[in-house]
A and B are shown apart, each in its own frame.
Chain A
Amino acid sequence: MKKEGRAHSDPELTGAESGMYTTRNSAAVVAQDTSGVWRSSGAMPDRGRAVEGPPVPSLQRTRHDHWDTWFPVLAYLGILASLWGLPAFLSSDFNLYIAVEILILAIAVVGVNIVLGYAGIISFGHGGFLTVGAYASALTMMRLEMSFAVAFAMAVVLSAGCGLLVGLIGRRLHSYLWLLLTFGFAQVVLIVSLNWNITGGSQGLVGVPPPSIGPLSFETTEEFYRLALVALVVCVYVADRLKRSRTGRALIALSQSETVAASSGINVPYHKVLALTISGAYLGVAGSLYAPFISYIDPRTFSTDTTVLLWLMVVLGGAGSSFSPILTLAGFQILIESLRDFGEYWIFIFGVAIIVVTIVAPAGLAGVASSGYRRVRLWLIRIAVRVRGERRSTIERRDRQDGG
């Protein structure tokens, strides 16, 4: 992983710019670059800056006015309002259908992000959690004829329980053994749902009723879109609060180094199990929405491919942040839907893309975007310095400021 303190060693920097940058701690540079909507939040991509330390005293004037406080809130509200009104602008029902699918998968991505992005645990079992959630809600509604609320709770509890179980068995396992265990869990879920007579075998369950909560019923795609959007917003909010809580910070510390986390008093196995349980609950939410949405569920709806897709969205999008994986997911799904005609080719391109991105840009697409932003900013500064011809005086002024 590249350290952020690049300003000291980057040969491209001229004296003026490095003078400008060394006055501040590199963490402060990142924080200022990314303040606004895209708050610096990487747990995994840049290990140098992930844990928020004490605020670094900056020699630049600290700008903290009302605009800084209210801009993110306004931006979130704007995004929400435009998402709420989106169905009116989508031309066909099929596009809306894809939008709902993206929203539901986004909940799953947020759940995967808690395990993979915050705590740095790779797991192959997420398809299994989704399947458990979907079957739990479908079976509760169809076989027990309960309401959607009960089914939803059932799905969340059962998926979280599965997460707890997997976590308890594997809490002390290392790298590949852990992977195998989670993969095994997904396989066992697949085989049980294929062979158990209650689950309808390989034909699956057809005709899962549409959900209704009290007086509200969600039968059309547009109503379902609203339901999924609300669920997603709640999920993202909870995940965000979790990240800022003590537990979330412990999880992020876990992703940096388990040894260091343990030596600073974090109960590593407990937090692993906790992360997995919470993630299971999230995937239960996603599964319990997905089954009524497509009104059908079979054992192969969520396969290993789904799991790989979910965690690649997290890794490509930049682990640890909520938004960029969701954006990546949306972009990716739209890309897939528009490239359906290419059939098998896009899977091949997808595989090659994973390899290329992992080698070339280990911090994910968000990392590429932010480093590109920094580079452009540097060019702009360089050009400005040249144009205004105050290179020499700038250096001197910075030096004076440095000296105090």
Chain B
Amino acid sequence: MNLTWWRRSNCRERAEPDLLVDPRALVQAIASGAAIGGVYALVALGICLMWRTTRVFNFAHGDIAIFAAYMAWQFATFTDLPIGVIIVCVCGLTGLGSAMLERVCFRPLYGGSIVPPMLVSVGLYIALESLIRLIWGSIPKSAPTIFGNKSFSIVGIYLVPEVLAVALISIAIALACIIFIARTRLGTALRSCSEDPEVSQLLGINVRGLYRLSFVMAGVLAAISGVLSAPIVGLRPDTGLTLGLSGIIAAAIGGLGSFQGALVGALLLGVLQSGAVLFVDPSFAPVLTYGLLVVVVLVRPAGLFGVPRFAWGAQ
């Protein structure tokens, strides 16, 4: 028996993980990246929908999400309602609030340059963040887990049910949104009024109503993403900006205005960020994020899936 061959090969096998990237860590990064990427996808879809329909570039989207998450935390702390009811309530409230914001802040600015709505959304971001600080204080709150946070392992990969469920749910919702916009009658109307509001109006489409609808949808998406992400990233007043910016970057990588692009960009961003946390210095994750953005933007300025006409907006 030639045992030396067996021994040598066995040794080499054991040595291999030190030389290459550990495949288990890679899968781990992809799994947890997909979860946070799914949350980003919901944020990115909301931003994308709002931009494509109304040409409002919303910086405050992440803060709306975190505000909804705080509301859910408040409900969960002070009432005994089941979590499903709370989520539905919060989604409804945020949708309502978003419709009111549309009426008060953005409707007077439709049809002009894209800069004033952008300014309004920056003001909204500042106001919402300080409102959160005023109501709930700056101390981080720990949001209760929805799906349980006891990790289990499948073939050596550790997964938290919370993370897995968030990934699956948010990707499912994102896909449902994409199908809604691409396949249904209402979605077609939304796309047509993003392409040419005047002609859509002539064809009998209620353009103002659809603007409001897109705001409500974006608000509900924000609420869902806030409630889902809160147990993973924690509830802090400044998470809003991080969440919103990640959504914006994801949407820009995918091509703002393309919904598939938003999903792909968000997943890419999530995997890149969790990969950076696992393999490189965690504090350099934002550098990698913006590096990816710069590379994509220099190679394809309209984004990965973007159509230049939608991506750049009316000048």
Chain A contacts to B: CB under 8 angstroms: 1, 122, 169, 172-177, 179-181, 183-185, 187-188, 191-192, 194-195, 257-259, 304, 308, 315, 344-345, 347-348, 350-355, 358-359, 362
Is B130's CB under 8 angstroms from A180's CB? no
Is A172's CB under 8 angstroms from B301's CB? yes
| Chain A residues whose C-beta falls within 8 Å of the C-beta of B245 in the assembled complex | 183
Q: Which segment of B1-9, B171-179, B278-286 sits at the interface?
A: B278-286
B11 within 8 A of A: no
From known contacts A308-B126, A351-B123, A352-B127, infer whether A122 and B118 are also in contact, taking CB-CB under 8 Å. yes
A/B pair count, beta carbons within 8 Å: 114
CB-CB nearest in chain B for A187 = B286
Is A174's CB under 8 angstroms from B312's CB? yes
Is B122's CB under 8 angstroms from A308's CB? yes
Assembled-state Cα–Cα distance A155/B286 (Å): 25
Is A169's CB under 8 angstroms from B256's CB? no
Is A351's CB under 8 angstroms from B105's CB? no
Given A175-B114, A192-B287, A350-B126, 16 additional A-B pairs, CB 8 A: A173-B301, A174-B313, A179-B118, A181-B293, A181-B297, A183-B245, A184-B294, A191-B287, A308-B122, A308-B126, A345-B130, A347-B129, A353-B123, A355-B124, A358-B119, A359-B116
CB-CB nearest in chain A for B248 = A180
B166 to chain A, nearest CB (A): 25
From known contacts A177-B252, A347-B126, infer whether A122 and B120 are also in contact, taking CB-CB under 8 Å. no
Is A358's CB under 8 angstroms from B126's CB? no
Is B122's CB under 8 angstroms from A169's CB? no
From known contacts A176-B252, A180-B252, A347-B130, infer whether A354 and B313 are also in contact, taking CB-CB under 8 Å. no
Nearest 9 pairs between A and B by C-beta? A351-B127, A354-B123, A184-B290, A351-B126, A347-B130, A355-B123, A348-B130, A174-B312, A358-B119
Assembled-state Cα–Cα distance A176/B311 (Å): 9
From known contacts A195-B283, A344-B133, A348-B131, infer whether A355 and B120 are also in contact, taking CB-CB under 8 Å. yes
Interface size class of B (residues with CB under 8 A): 35 or more
25 contacts between A and B (CB under 8 A): A1-B112, A122-B115, A174-B313, A175-B114, A175-B312, A175-B313, A176-B57, A180-B248, A180-B290, A180-B297, A184-B289, A184-B290, A187-B286, A188-B287, A194-B283, A195-B284, A350-B127, A351-B123, A351-B124, A352-B127, A354-B120, A354-B127, A358-B116, A359-B116, A362-B116
| Chain A residues whose C-beta falls within 8 Å of the C-beta of B131 in the assembled complex | 348
B109 within 8 A of A: yes
- From 260 to 315 in chain B, residues with beta carbon under 8 angstroms from any chain A beta carbon are 281, 283-284, 286-287, 289-290, 293-294, 297-298, 301, 311-313, 315
CB-CB nearest in chain B for A122 = B115
Is B281's CB under 8 angstroms from A195's CB? yes
CB-CB nearest in chain B for A183 = B245
Assembled-state Cα–Cα distance A259/B315 (Å): 9
A328 to chain B, nearest CB (A): 15
Is B57's CB under 8 angstroms from A354's CB? no
B108 within 8 A of A: yes
Is A169's CB under 8 angstroms from B130's CB? no
